[in-house]
Amino acid sequence: MKKIILGLASIALVFGLIGSVGAINTASKKDQKKKFSLPENAVEVSHGVFYLGESMNKGEVVEGYAFVHYAKSTAKSKPVWDDTVDIYKFMRGGLKWANTIQYKINPSYIGGLDQNDVEITLNASLEIWDSEISFEFFDSITTTTETSVGFDGTNIVIWGYLGSSGTIAQNTIWFNRRTKEIVESDVVFNTHYIWSAVENCPDNAMDLQNIATHEFGHNGLGDLYMPKSVELTMHGYSDYGETKKQDLGTGDVSGIQELYGN
């Protein structure tokens, strides 16, 4: 008798588990609610920059930093600055890649957008940087089934839930402490927002090419928060419907050429 009860209990348990896993799967597919959050021990070292700790790569110490991109309305401000402002900032004293960067998307997590639109848009954001420098900076987007944004050798671009407090996207960068070479970059776009990959971004959406171009700039360039950087791609804030970061400003080009040659 005991055995039968135990058997029934485990059947119920199995069905219960299957039931809840099924529900989570449906929700995650429907809402693209895969959650990403910074590790609990992440330390904010400057505005929007979080130290994630160390890892090992081929016997060498690598460090991780997450660069968080926040929403901020610019509707009320009347900028007196334009995109000819020639300022830029390097990350952690000058990090750069030694090799061409290969980003991969996971077609199961692309924010409800069309895969073809996402690939075309992301490739356009990569190309705008690539075209300014002599170094072969980026390869075209390919796909993966991976979902991890940890240090794992895959440079992923993925949609997931980053909370509702204004984070639009984040780029996690891992680099070799000794050589200052970047060894991994993972970009997450927040499913809290509606994303647009069409030419005229609606006022209630985030323009993918606008935000992606900024995020890809973090392969060497840091965020700028001063008022006169407001029209540059590496300005640290973006807004709904904004498209001005699709093109690079003078400071963005100067910075990337200083790192990778022209």
Binding residues for Zn ion, rule: CB under 5 A, are 67, 69, 223
Of the pair 69, 96, the CB lying nearest Zn ion is at 69
Which SS3 state, helix, strand or coil, does residue 247 take? coil
CB 225: neighbour CB atoms within 10 A? 16
List beta partners, residue 101.
138
**DSSP three-state, residue 256:** helix
* Shortest spacing between CB 215 and Zn ion, in angstroms: 7
Nearer to Zn ion, 69 or 244 (CB): 69
On whether the CB atoms of residues 79 and 226 are closer than 8 A, the answer is no
Please report how close the Cβ of residue 133 comes to Zn ion at its closest, in angstroms: 19
DSSP β-ladder status, 167-176 and 60-71: antiparallel
Q: CB atoms < 10 A from the CB of 34, how many?
A: 17
Question: In terms of CB distance, is 45 or 61 closer to Zn ion?
Answer: 45
Our CB check for Zn ion shows the closer of 106 and 219 to be 219
- Cβ of residue 117: shortest distance to Zn ion, in angstroms? 23
Minimum separation from the CB atom of position 13 to Zn ion (A): 46
State the DSSP code for 241. T
